[in-house]
Amino acid sequence: MRWFAFGFNAFGQIYVHEKLIKGECSDAVNEIKVSSPTELAGRADCCLNTDSQIRASWSRRASLHLDGGSRVCLAGFGAVLSSESCSSCMKESRGCKDAFISESYLTLAFPDRIESWDLQKEEETPSWSMEIKKESHGPPLNLPLVPGGYIATKAPFYRSLSPHLKAKSLALSAEHAILLSASGAVYTWGLGSHGQLGHGDLTSEEEPRAVEALLGMPMSCVATGSWHSVCISDGGDLYVWGWNETGQLGLPSRGLRKALQEQCSQQAGTGAPCQDGSTSPPEEPQEGEKLDEVFISIQAFPALLDITPSCEIRTVSCGSRHTAAVTTTGDLYTWGWGDYGQLGHQTLISSDEPQRVEFFRERQMCVFDVVCGPWNTFAAVVKEEVA
């Protein structure tokens, strides 16, 4: 297995460039914005192996290694900058089984305890910890879920959940949460100002509330961005809801279309091609002519998103304002905000339509997992077997 990444790299989350190592500040596009998938390889990522997993926050990347001596290595803001050795592994993480990272804290799950470490401070002991009893039956819970509740991104860290929910997985944004139950039901709570809770309105919820529009359709995966949410049905269908200002739902966005139109109009006079490859701006409807396309800024109910005909989705992840999904055939599709190259199309273009990342298909690579940071994307791939 190999990990590739693209998008925001101002703190060396994807690769460490020489100016960062020397402590020099630079705003060069090719250092901060990585638009082409770049492998997390070399000596600084020497620990990456077939059992590695990625967790990401805005300025950091945590690599969770689940081999014999399981541990977490950090890259990005505050990590030891070196292009010659992997010196960023936390000795305190030895033996951990899972990890969860926010901008302020790294939470580690051990067989007998949970620890949260303050990433802003250099401390020899965790900021918070709790003992846990090993479950004797049922599948292991994945962070941020813990027995009886979940770990929040800020204090108080432990939040209880009703046992009636029978939580299977949980995705957290800064302001809202989406929970998948063992039966496949979806529950949301928190801030609802952008329709991200999926209840058909913009109100907030203090307690978990079932998304009624999805009842009767068992789901297998949930994910959340800053103001949008997504889930996958047992049949591989993708449902989206919430904010769509930058096309993160994969639905027509007036903001993106208007921005592209303005840019093309400005470039038309110079003869330079538009970012979509054309040399002329999109045609505006004439007077009396109807614009059939319906633009969506907020989608307060779950909407079925068709990526390609007869395409089943295996897994999905959300950045702050972009989304990435992996199909059962090993293709990666991305859409939404792309100003830092986080869509992987080797441009800085945003898109309100799911597009396949051709980089991996051209190299006969199958993508089987994807993890989005707020402004970047990490993809796990294997070489495609040729019959």
- Tens digits of per-residue pLDDT, 134-186? 665 556 678 999 999 999 988 889 999 999 999 999 999 999 999 999 999 99
Measured distance CA(238)–CA(219) in Å, rounded: 9
Q: What is the pLDDT of residue 50?
A: 61
Predicted confidence at residue 128, as pLDDT, reads 94
Task: Judge whether 60 and 78 are in contact, CB under 8 Å.
Answer: yes
pLDDT at 82: 47
Q: What is the pLDDT of residues 104-122, one digit of tens each?
A: 999 999 999 999 999 988 8
- C-beta separation of 186 from 211 below 8 A: yes
Q: Measured at the alpha carbon of residue 338, what is the angle toward residues 332 and 341, in degrees to the nearest 5?
A: 75
- pLDDT over 70 (residue 67): yes
Amino acid identity, residue 261? Q
The mean pLDDT value for 304-315 works out to 89
| Winning range, highest mean pLDDT, from 54-63, 117-126, 301-310 | 54-63
- Could you tell me if 115 and 128 are in contact, meaning their C-beta atoms sit under 8 angstroms apart? yes
| Token pair 């395409």: residue | 311
CA within 13 Å, CB half, 67: 8
Per-residue pLDDT for 359 more than 50? yes
Q: Which residues of 25-63 are buried (b: 16+ CB within 10 A; e: fewer)?
A: eeeeeebbbbbebbebeeebbebbeeebbbbbbbbbbbb
Nearest to 176 by CA among 161, 159, 193: 193
Task: Find out whether 100 and 60 touch, Cβ atoms under 8 Å.
Answer: no
What 3-state class would DSSP assign to 130? Answer: strand
pLDDT at 69: 75
Nearest CA among 327, 328, 320, 331 for reference residue 377: 320
Q: Is the peptide bond before 285 cis (omega within 30 degrees of 0)?
A: no
Angle at 374 between CA 372 and CA 379, to 5 degrees: 20
* pLDDT band for position 309 (cuts 50, 70, 90): confident
Total-model pTM: 0.88
Confidence of residue 2 (pLDDT cuts 50, 70, 90): very high
Single-letter amino acid code for the residue at 213: A
Per-residue pLDDT at 87: 47
Phi and psi (nearest 5°) for 220?
-120, -15
pLDDT score at 267: 60
Mean pLDDT of all residues in the chain? 86
Judged by average pLDDT, the poorest of 209-218, 303-312, 345-354, 374-383 is 303-312
Tell me the CA distances in angstroms from 333 to 213, 243, 326, one per residue in order. Answer: 25, 19, 6
Weakest mean pLDDT among 55-64, 82-91, 229-238, 298-307: 82-91
pLDDT digits (tens, 9 = 90+) for 195-247: 999 999 999 999 999 999 999 999 999 999 999 999 999 999 999 999 999 99
The pLDDT value recorded for residue 272 is: 53
pLDDT confidence tier of residue 281, bands split at 50, 70 and 90: very low
At 373 the pLDDT is: 98
- Which range, 11-15, 218-222, 262-266, is most confident? 218-222
The share of the chain scoring above pLDDT 70, in percent, equals: 81
Contact 51, 43 (CB under 8 A): no
Report the alpha-carbon distance of residue 212 to residue 309 in Å, rounded.
27
pLDDT higher than 90, residue 51: no
Structural tokens at position 13: 């989350």
pLDDT (0 to 100) of residue 133? 81
d(CA 225, CA 236): 20
Residue 147, preceding peptide bond in cis (omega within 30° of 0): no
272 burial class (0-12, 13-18, 19+ CB within 10 angstroms)?
A: exposed
What is the average pLDDT across 326-344? 97
* Nearest Cα to Cα of residue 280 among 265, 294, 291, 295: 265
8 within 8 A of 376, measured Cβ to Cβ: yes
